[in-house]
Structure 1
């Protein structure tokens, strides 16, 4: 939004007119910086701002000016052009952190401060308006950079998200002004995670890339396979170079007639970058990713940076992180170090049983676990099979426990007890148990957990939202080794873990040092090789966050982030 300086010029002219006070004797007793600032803060309105209501920043603004003895921070006797220029530069460059400069009146303040330098010292009220406008904008920026623009609680995120320590923005800004280090404010306020810095650097690179206003889609009427002809092969090659899946040195710059091996290599690299099956065949998903514009990718990066602002500051290692849309688990000794373990996972079904975002401490694990079958699964999936096969429970090693029926009127009383929840069913440990040979427990209200699986072939799929909400891990033995290896004075070496996973009895192992487990949702991730990956928005959470950032109201909570889950494998 451009600011109309023409509307402000008459104000400036009036300020210079003879009717204005020309000496200290002519200034009203209450016409002091302290009085003007106090009045303005009490009104919680500043007409110089696009969003004049600063109620949310009023308390911090009051604290900030109290630290300055209620004197001007930017103008008046304390004016420092270096501080002003640095503050305006921060707001103008808010896009570097995935924020919108318009939210902080960057253009408006840049133009108004050019005029503010012409205001005489006697125009106290106008100076107060200018001075506080810049302070309000900077407070908004610092808070958004530290906490995020959206409160994740409004998106059904659990309490650990968005509950990081409140930033003392007023003290931070006042100290920066006094030390002439205003330019360092973003570094002090931004998330301290390495992933954030990686995303910020890649965002800067993407913003420097040539604009794709003339972006032409690649049209694939059917899957393109090696050796086949396509009229846009040269455009495909250029697209792969632009997307860093090929380099000009590795590409054959001669006109392409057929889908060559060099192009296939570039497509495979692109597929790997985007969590697709690297087969070199351009099918529906690969084509959609190839046609994703630069603007769309920048938006995904901005959403990822926003979500990182919601994380607490005190997550330390070791830590286990599951990125839901990536179908990936990574284990770290520290969140800012390279991962030491990475494996495929299976998450909850997109339509019915979404895996929730959460942050909890893993307290124990169980080798050769029972599966306590949720009543919903029992009624919807198992009961119909029992009607058709009276021996189904026995064939699946499922036992009924806690049968409260007072009178045993035969087999049909069991059906009735199941329907009305008077019995609990559980599947014994063994090859048929969907939890596999070990499960990892971090108590949470959604009752989800990490576990092994009896169906490892499902990890061969690229799209792995297949569970009832829990997360199945591809390499449970390695995960157990990571978890138990991070316990003090542990006797759990690989041989002991393998023995426990091949036994016949359930064995619980409590952790003396609980390990944080983060179920996170981000469709953009930068790996340890500084390679960026983009993932499908399987639960449509990017769309929800986009709407929240656009301040579009939701009709209800039914479409928001998490769905209630039913515990399963």
Structure 2
């Protein structure tokens, strides 16, 4: 939807009180009757909404928007609703123009009462969407298990009625730098969309330094439009193009070899619309997680395949990770918790689902299969495999559990990092290191494997041990399982952002590894959120 260059002036006119309700001069008796009729209308219109009904009853049905002294509130609301699209919200849901027209047309007490409640309803919808998101995450994907706060509607409108209206509505947006940076990227992409995007796609499967010709020109032009290199007339894949490709690869989670291979070409050929969708979804996710993050926390971004220890907004430790495979029973969920301890030389207590789905069928064919694992009876002690007739059991009645004692070959490696949660997700070492060399790293059963687990442990222990490396290695060399509590437990956030903008203003994009963003954008689109282009 292309916006007129006069859009901002239109919003300003609306905010300046372009809506003035017609309040006829009446005698005392007729004025009292009009007030009574207005209150009755408000009561009737609000009756279907418990929160609004309670709010207006508490204030004896005094209006918030349609009274003689309510012009500032009307203007502030109309301005906020008209600018809802700037936040990637469904503008048509709030219909600022329709509300403005209804306010102008409201002549009778009955009309004014109905418009009053309609304005309050739209304000509450807008505030709810801005603070907590348009969508309910779990209704989109069962893996979206984060808790999103929803605010009490009666308290919200009561606070609005008591506050500076413009300032109140402005504070509804997430007060996080990440959100503001995404909003700027959104506007940049909308302007690009209005100019026709990034031009022709690169019509090649791959390109490498030294090549020349029309397809190299396509690559050059696209990188220039994307702001990865300055204007150039070269038709050869020279050092400038190679450097630009490397910068692009870094910002898109690709191996920065400067060669435009298949995965790099695929990312370069993504359109402005595709990136804009990612930004809109990221803004919605920011609204789901609108509370400011703690100064010190652990951050795992699933599509980025990395874990960071964040201190005062900066990463002090970073490692590659492997996350859950893209199947319904293995995808890593999104949630927040608190890391409380680590276990050095851990045992692996095999999850019941893995025991019954993967190992029991093997044991039926060969009782000696998976010999690295112990069969554990109900009393918690190992049971001899030779005493068990595995053929008589199925997934429902198998009475045993399975355990792998501490060892270098243990599935959890030599250390795991625990933030107890109902999803049974944690971070851990792994004996399988080869997967960390891949660009896309979704292979686990759901838990998060850490490429540099010892360094991760040292960083966590630095706050409580003079020599964290020596402390850790001493415990490790005992080959006995040991729990080490963190004196300062750290919040852990397992997130899913395929788009973000760093503090330097550089946009980063990743693949939608679980197809979650696609489902979220589809739902946003159904709710009324759409792509738009802005004339610059």
TM interval, shorter chain, is 0.7 to 0.9
- State the partner residue of 2:63: 72
Aligned length: 501
TM-score by length of 1: 0.78
**Offset of 1:392 from its aligned partner?**
5.6
Unaligned residue ranges in structure 1 (runs of 5+)? 3-14, 45-57, 553-569
Please state if 1:349 is matched with 2:336: no
1:123-272 maps to which residues of 2 (within 5 A)? Answer: 123-155=108-140, 156=142, 160-163=146-149, 166=152, 168-176=155-163, 181-209=164-192, 211-213=194-196, 216-246=199-229, 248=230, 251=231, 253-254=232-233, 256-272=234-250
8 Å CA contact 2:429, 2:451 repeated in 1: yes
Structure 1 residues 238 and 305, CA, compared in 2 at 3 Å: closer, same or farther?
same
8 Å CA contact 2:339, 2:417 repeated in 1: yes
In structure 2, distance between residues paired with 1:130 and 1:75: 8
In structure 2, distance between residues paired with 1:410 and 1:126: 80
Moved more, 302-311 or 417-426: 417-426
Moved more, 362-371 or 492-501: 492-501
**Offset of 1:410 from its aligned partner?**
7.7
Which of 66, 86, 99 is the matching residue for 1:96? 86
Structure 1 residues 182 and 209, CA, compared in 2 at 3 Å: closer, same or farther?
farther
Structure 1 residues 492 and 442, CA, compared in 2 at 3 Å: closer, same or farther?
farther
Per-residue Cα deviation, 1:345-368 (whole angstroms, up to 9, x for no partner)? 100111251111222222321001
8 Å CA contact 1:164, 1:310 repeated in 2: no
**Offset of 1:158 from its aligned partner?**
6.6
Please state if 1:34 is matched with 2:36: no
In structure 2, distance between residues paired with 1:467 and 1:457: 13
**Offset of 1:443 from its aligned partner?**
1.9
Per-residue Cα deviation, 1:308-337 (whole angstroms, up to 9, x for no partner)? 222373753432121111112122235xx2
8 Å CA contact 1:417, 1:423 repeated in 2: no
**Larger relative contact order, structure 1 or 2 (CA cutoff 8 Å, min sep 6):** 2
8 Å CA contact 1:404, 1:423 repeated in 2: no
Per-residue Cα deviation, 1:167-196 (whole angstroms, up to 9, x for no partner)? 7321332123xxxx3222344222233322
- State the partner residue of 1:321: 299
TM-score by length of 2: 0.82
Please state if 1:369 is matched with 2:374: no
Unaligned residue ranges in structure 2 (runs of 5+)? 4-20, 528-536
In structure 2, distance between residues paired with 1:328 and 1:107: 45
Per-residue Cα deviation, 1:92-118 (whole angstroms, up to 9, x for no partner)? 1112222122121123234444x34xx
Structure 1 residues 166 and 38, CA, compared in 2 at 3 Å: closer, same or farther?
closer
Give 3-state SS (helix, strand or coil) of 2:33's partner: coil
- State the partner residue of 2:413: 436
Which of 373, 381, 386 is the matching residue for 1:398? 373
8 Å CA contact 1:218, 1:232 repeated in 2: no
